[in-house]
Amino acid sequence: MAKGKKKEGTAKRSSGGPNRILVFLTLVALVPFSLPTLLVMFVGLLPAIVAAFVERGSNRYAWICIGGLNFAGLSPWLLSLWFGHHTLDFAFEQVTSVKMLLVAYGAAAVGSALYMGLPPVVNAFMMATSQHRAVGLQADLRKLEEKWGEAVKTPDERL
Amino acid sequence: MASEQKNGADGAAVLRDRYVVYPGKPLPDLASPNAEAFHAEDRRDAKKVLFALIVRPGILARTDSMRALKGSDSPGLMTLVEWGTMDWPPLQRKVMAVVYERPTGGRVMATMTSDFKAVDEADLVRKAINPLFAALRVLRSHNVTHRAIRPTNMFWATPEKDRVVLGDCTTIPPAYEQPLLVETIESGMCQPTGRGPGVYADDIYSLGASMALLLQGRNPAGHLDDDTILRRKILQGSVAVLIGEERLSLQTSEFLRGTLCDDPHERWTTESIELWLSGRRLSPLLAKFEKRAARGMPFNGKEYLTARELAIAFVRNWDAVPQLVLDGRLELWVRRSLDVKEKAEAIAAITRDAVMTVNEKRGAAFDIMVAKVCMVLDSRAPIRYKSLAAMPDGIGAMLGMAVAAGTEVRIIAESLMREIPKAYFQTRETYNPDNSMLDAIFRDLKLWLEKGSIGSGIERVVYEMNDAMPCLSPLTLDDYVLDIRDLLPALDAAAIKVGGKGWPVDRHVAAFIAARAKFDVERQLFDLSQPNSERSAMAMLNILAVLQWRLGQGGLQGLATWLGSLMKPVINTFHDREKRTALEKDIPRIARDGNLVELSRVLDSPEEKAVDSQGFQEARAQWAEARREVRDIEEGHANNRKAIHFAQRLAALVSMTICLVTFSLLLLARLF
């Protein structure tokens, strides 16, 4: 069993590895054609990139949350680059702009606040409804026990 | 053989609705030691003079002979009119009854020691030999040996005493009541229950011995005990013991010497007697005696000069024999003094086999060695193993009688387990195809004994070896269940007697069904032997249901109710409580119809069980999930985890929506 789990984990890691390498290679391939865009995006989306690398666990929503607003904050400068002068000089000019950094990073901070602030609100709401559900579940359990006897319980519950 | 009899008036019993037997009118003159005789009448023909023999409970009757001889008409046989089981008021149970036409001249010889009017030598052929030989021919045509030919079982057919008829031979095992004097040496060595049906040559010997007594009007060996008679027969020959100094005509002497010849190969056959009766003179047989050794073999304080006597002494002093065999003295004596090299070689080989056995099994090996040595020393003798002495075809009756009487059967079972009959067949001097068949039967018996579980064991062996053995279960004993068709009605009646206590299928009932059923019940028997109570209870019901279905017997309300009350463990195998309640309501209804098949179908339906099992698995999964959720709610884990998860997803969704909307609006602004 343990062996199986170990193999499963190895497989997951190995499937994630090539994807990342592919993304990395694609970016490297784009460097000669859109180096200005990449420069702006790298500097502007730094909070999202950091969040993506730092976040652990199966439900990785933090980097999406931060990244979404981060990108929204950066998008006016990106569009300026694409629709203006798509040169490395202009890109340097943008990334050194305090305004752009404030807006992009500020938006990322809002995303982070959203990610951390929403769960307590939802939790409070669900707490209010769970007691009612527990009563319903207890009734279901009693019905199952009446129909199928003690054997329907899990062994540790029978004990 | 279904037995449906009603009691007649005055406490009389009725056999097959036709023959009325009166318990109040005993006929001691016609009774035999193990079967009482009673006056009987034919309802359809009151002029017939009949009597009935009632087989004593516990005695193994010869139903195959009854079946064969029913209606046989011969001047030397009492005509067997009818047979079967019937209710017998004096014993308040069913018994086996055999109805015969009554001989009217009385018994020829009252007891084996009493004197009687001798038959004149000139009348012997007409009055005795002719009718009795005719009887033997009829018996032979039916493939039956009589094995009860003796003067005390012969009757004068008429008051004029002009014809002798043979008495009954069906109410006891073969040769069970025969005195040693009228039996061959080999048969005389057997225990009475183990003599077996034998061969026609055995009947011819008994005929010759009986004629010798009829001529003398007395028993010439009446003052001798059985051991002395046997020893004299071995040393002097049967003719000398039975005739002695009696002066007889050459013709009669020739008949007696031919029929009483101790060598079964040289003994007269029915053809020889036929030739003799037709007046042909046959070459006279000279008495052959056992080969005597040059020097006696000392054993247990006595010296023995013949191998046969020594073998008898061995059997009587079993434990002292191994030493004598192992130190080679016996082989040396047989080789040098008796001068029979083949037997000496055989004894040497048997000894080698025994010595090579591992220490743990050495006791058994020595017992087998002694048995084999006895077989080699006296190759015509019966199987002798410790206290057992029986012909191979007599072991069945011996075991049956022992089990019915509740006496010790260990030695018999041990002899079968140690393959003593096989050793007997291996030591025969000539090939006999019958022995091969018997050997195969004994192999099966050993397997059943080894198995030992319900439906096998010693009970199975008893029923397999004895077609005439009624089911010995305490539940059915009083019903004399011979035929499997009578089993379910007997168990149905037993249900009321025992009040639903215990199980209707005990070891005897299971073994009886296994041996008598012409269909396969091995799977059910295997389940029945399982320690799991619900599995064995279901198997018990299934066996009886199969029986009912195969035999087409209905109306077993008592048995069905009894079985229904034992099905609680089976009902409890269903997980669904509602199903259990429904079954508990249904079973009494089905039981009232007496339908075991329906009962079995309802309780053992694979579809119902599959539905129940699947439902139960689903219910368990549901219960576990619900219980986990309840626990999470109680401990607050569920809300936290769910809320956090939901909120994170919501936040990601909001963020991405803002991103998409912002980017789209800015892009549109740029474009237009």
Domain boundaries, chain B: 9-101, 121-277, 290-381, 384-469, 481-604, 644-672
What architecture is the B9-101 domain classified under in CATH? 2-Layer Sandwich (3.30)
**Among B271, B166, B263, residue whose Cα is nearest residue B210:** B166
More confident residue, B337 or A22: B337
**Among B556, B662, B642, residue whose Cα is nearest residue B600:** B556
Phi, psi at B477, each rounded to 5°: -55, -40
Strands B35-42 and B50-55: antiparallel
pLDDT tens digits for range B91-133:
999 999 999 999 999 999 999 999 999 999 999 999 999 999 9
Note whether B651 contacts A61, CB cutoff 8 Å. Answer: yes
**CATH fold group of domain B121-277:** Transferase(Phosphotransferase); domain 1 (1.10.510)
pLDDT at position A15: 45
pLDDT at position B670: 87
User: How far is C-alpha B205 from the chain's CA centre?
Assistant: 27
User: Structural domain boundaries of chain A?
Assistant: 13-158
**Among B112, B180, B183, B117, residue whose Cα is nearest residue B152:** B112
Residues 51-70 of A with CB under 8 A from B: 59, 61-62, 64-69
pLDDT at position B1: 43
Q: How far apart are CA B87 and CA B432, in angstroms?
A: 43
pLDDT at position B424: 95
pLDDT at position A17: 58
Phi, psi at B54, each rounded to 5°: -105, 115
Low-confidence ranges of chain B (pLDDT < 70): 1-10, 284-285, 358, 636-640
Shortest CB distance from B655 goes to which of A65, A138, A152? A65
Sole residue written with tokens 């004399």: B480
Torsion of CA B523, B524, B525, B526, to 10 degrees: 50
Residues of B with CB under 8 A from a CB of A: 575-578, 615-616, 619-620, 622-624, 626-627, 629-630, 633-634, 638-640, 642-652, 654-659, 662-663, 666-667, 670
Q: How far apart are CA A8 and CA A15, in angstroms?
A: 11
Q: How far apart are the first and last CA of chain A?
A: 26
**Among B603, B481, B487, residue whose Cα is nearest residue B542:** B603
pLDDT at position A13: 44
Per-residue confidence at A2, pLDDT binned at 50, 70, 90? Answer: very low
CB B585 within 8 A of CB B522: no
pLDDT at position B7: 55
Q: Is A125 on the interface with B (CB under 8 A)?
A: yes
Residues 14-33 of A with CB under 8 A from B: none
pLDDT at position B10: 65
pLDDT tens digits for range B431-450:
888 899 999 999 999 999 99
Give the mean model confidence (pLDDT) for residues A80-88: 87
- Taking contacts as CB-CB distances below 8 angstroms, the residues of chain B near A72 are 658-659, 662-663
Q: Which chain A residue's Cα is nearest to B657?
A: A68
More confident residue, A4 or B452: B452
Note whether B645 contacts A59, CB cutoff 8 Å. Answer: yes
CB B626 within 8 A of CB A140: yes
**Among B221, B216, B219, B256, residue whose Cα is nearest residue B239:** B256
CB B425 within 8 A of CB B395: no
What number is the ipTM of this complex? 0.75
Given a cut of 60, is residue A5 above it in pLDDT? Answer: no
CB B74 within 8 A of CB B86: no
